[in-house]
Structure 1
Amino acid sequence: MTEPKFAIGDRVRHVSMGHHGVIVAVDREHSAAHDTNDLSLNPAIRANPWYKVTLEDERGQPVDTYLSESQLDSE
C-alpha cells in the first residue's frame, strides 16, 4: 500500500477530463462504501489510494465522484 499523494482540502485536476476539484476524503485503498459505480478493477489499482472528490462539471456545478490516484493531478 502506498502513501496518499493528496490530502483533504487539496485542489486537484482530473487527468483526462480536465475538471478541477477538491479532495474531501482519502482511502488508502479502494472502498466499496464510496464507490457508487461498483467498479470492477484489477487488484493493483484497487490497492492504491482513492479519493472522494468534489469536481466542477462543465457548467460549474459541483459533482461528487470517487477516483483513483492515477486519475488525478495537482492543480
Structure 2
Amino acid sequence: MTEAKFSVGDRIRHVSMGHHGVVVAVDREYSPAHDDNDLSLNPSIRDNPWYKVTLEDEHGKAVDSYLSESQIDAE
C-alpha cells in the first residue's frame, strides 16, 4: 500500500477534465463500496490510494466521483 498524497478537505483538480473539487474521503486502496461505476481495474492501480471527491462540473453543479490518485492533482 502507498501512502496517500491527499487528505480530506484538500482542494484538487481532475487531471484530464480540469474540473476542480474537494477530497471528502480517502481509501488507502481501491474500495468497491465507494465505486458506483463498478470499475474493472488493473490490480496495480487498485493497490494505490483512491479518493471520493466532490467535483464541480462544466455547469457548476457538484458531482461526487471516486478517483485514483493518478487522476487528480493539487489545485
Same fold (TM over 0.5): yes
Q: How does 1:15-34 map to 2 (within 5 A)?
A: 15-34=15-34
TM-aligned CA deviation for residue 47 of structure 1: 0.3
Q: Please list every run of 5 or more consecutive structure 1 residues that lacks an aligned counterpart in the other structure.
A: none
CA-to-partner distance for each residue in 1:32-56, whole Å, 9 max, x for gaps? 0000000010100000000000000
State the match for 2:36 in structure 1. 36
Runs of 4+ in structure 1 over 4 Å off: none
Please provide the CA RMSD for this pair.
0.3
Supply the distance in 2 between the matched residues of 1:6 and 1:27 (Cα, whole angstroms). 10
State the match for 2:68 in structure 1. 68
Q: Please list every run of 5 or more consecutive structure 2 residues that lacks an aligned counterpart in the other structure.
A: none
TM-score, scaled relative to structure 2: 0.99
Count of matched residue positions in the alignment of Structure 1 and Structure 2? 75
Indicate the SS of the match to 1:33: helix
